[in-house]
């Protein structure tokens, strides 16, 4: 055999590596489960993650949705109603049987209820909290062992309504404020075993949530003229025409990817649909801080608050 110089051999090996003839072992594909993946924000997230190379378990309830989701590359539709424990248990067994493990759960499934608090039936709270609060709670309990094993992520889709509470959205805001508290405590607890937990707070985006609200209101035969606050109740009838003007929720999927790819994800991420919403939320938080800073048993000066803000910004 003819002798090959070291330089020639090195050049040959570099050519083989760059051409793919010899490839380094790639990372295993990470699996993510997305609840409520059949429409709106959840669908957008599921499709985006699949396109980015994640394997997505896409939770849905109808057979047609599950079939459609399963036809997408890197995606498997899974029967999953977050209010049904047997569905959740079956999903856990499905993920275990596939042998991929699970890197993340995206708790997206949610519903919206609007109405004046003094006139909202208690059954509406039960319906809302069963999906929006108990649903993520059930999911985390069921999938925690897999997430701890992978040192993965929990992503809770909260809302800007989890930071503030607009009129007629009090019940919905109550559920999303609960998700904010759930996220904070869970981030600390699961953080001790290497799991990152984050809440994403979207603004209004184009989804079927408003249509579902309208459907429920029509079934309940609301009459704004009989309300204790008729002018405000009448404004709720406009919600059916609200979603068409909002953009697709691509920004939310962008943030989910940011959380999954970050070595140290933050506890919360704001995902407004326009800059005015971001400013509104920031001003709302500052207003709350201003209300809490003085006139209390322990108060802070303006300079002390500025120092606190500087410390927080420096720590980012």
For residue 277, the tally of other CB atoms under 10 A from its CB is 16
Among 38, 84, 253, which Cα is nearest to 155's? 253
Instruction: 69-76: list long-range contacts, CB under 8 Å, 24+ apart.
Output: 69/37, 69/38, 72/47, 74/29, 74/50, 75/46, 75/47, 75/50
172 is catalytic: yes
Residue 60 contacts residue 69 (beta carbons within 8 Å) = yes
CA–CA separation, 295 vs 266, rounded Å? Answer: 32
- Which residue in 51, 41, 78 sits closest to 63, CA to CA? 78
* Cβ atoms of residues 33 and 76 within 8 Å: no
| Residues linked to residue 269 through DSSP beta bridges, in sequence order | 200
By the 8 A CB rule, do 250 and 42 touch?
A: no
* Mode of pairing for the β-strands spanning 104-107 and 75-79: unpaired
Residues near 8 by beta carbon (within 8 Å), at least 6 away in sequence = none
Angle subtended at Cα 131 by Cα 226 and Cα 234, rounded to the nearest 5 degrees: 20
Return the structure tokens found at 126: 């039960």
Q: Residues of 210-240 as b/e, b for ≥16 C-beta within 10 angstroms?
A: beebbebbeeeebeeeebeeeeebeebeebe
- Which one from 54, 172, 246, 298 is the annotated catalytic residue? 172
Return the active site residues: 172
């Amino acid at each position: 055999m003819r002798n090959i110089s070291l330089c020639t051999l090195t050049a040959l090996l570099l050519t083989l590596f760059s051409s793919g003839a010899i490839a380094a072992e790639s990372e295993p594909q990470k699996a993510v489960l997305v609840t409520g993946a059949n429409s709106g924000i959840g669908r957008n997230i599921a499709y985006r993650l699949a396109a980015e190379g994640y394997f997505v378990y896409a939770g849905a309830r109808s057979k047609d949705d599950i079939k459609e989701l399963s036809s997408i590359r890197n995606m498997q539709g899974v029967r999953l109603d977050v209010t049904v424990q047997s569905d959740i248990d079956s999903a856990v067994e499905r993920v275990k049987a596939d042998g991929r493990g699970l890197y993340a759960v995206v708790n997206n499934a949610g519903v919206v209820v609007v109405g004046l608090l003094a006139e909202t039936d208690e059954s509406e709270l039960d319906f809302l909290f069963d999906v929006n609060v108990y649903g993520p709670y059930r999911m985390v309990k069921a999938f925690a062992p897999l997430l701890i094993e992978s040192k993965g992520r929990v992503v809770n889709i909260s809302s800007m309504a989890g930071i503030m509470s607009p009129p007629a959205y009090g019940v919905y805001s109550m559920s999303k404020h609960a998700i904010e508290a759930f996220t904070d405590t869970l981030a600390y607890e699961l953080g001790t075993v290497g799991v990152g937990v984050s809440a994403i707070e979207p603004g209004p985006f184009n989804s079927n949530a408003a249509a579902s609200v309208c459907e429920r209101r029509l079934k309940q035969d609301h009459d704004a003229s009989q309300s204790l606050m008729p002018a405000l109740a009448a404004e709720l009838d406009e919600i059916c025409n609200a979603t068409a003007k909002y953009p697709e929720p691509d920004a939310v999927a962008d943030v989910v990817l940011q959380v999954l790819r970050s070595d140290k994800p933050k506890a919360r991420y704001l995902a407004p649909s326009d800059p005015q919403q971001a400013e509104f939320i920031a001003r709302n938080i500052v207003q709350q801080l201003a209300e809490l800073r003085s006139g209390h048993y322990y108060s802070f000066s303006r300079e002390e608050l500025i120092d606190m803000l500087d410390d927080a910004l420096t720590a980012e």
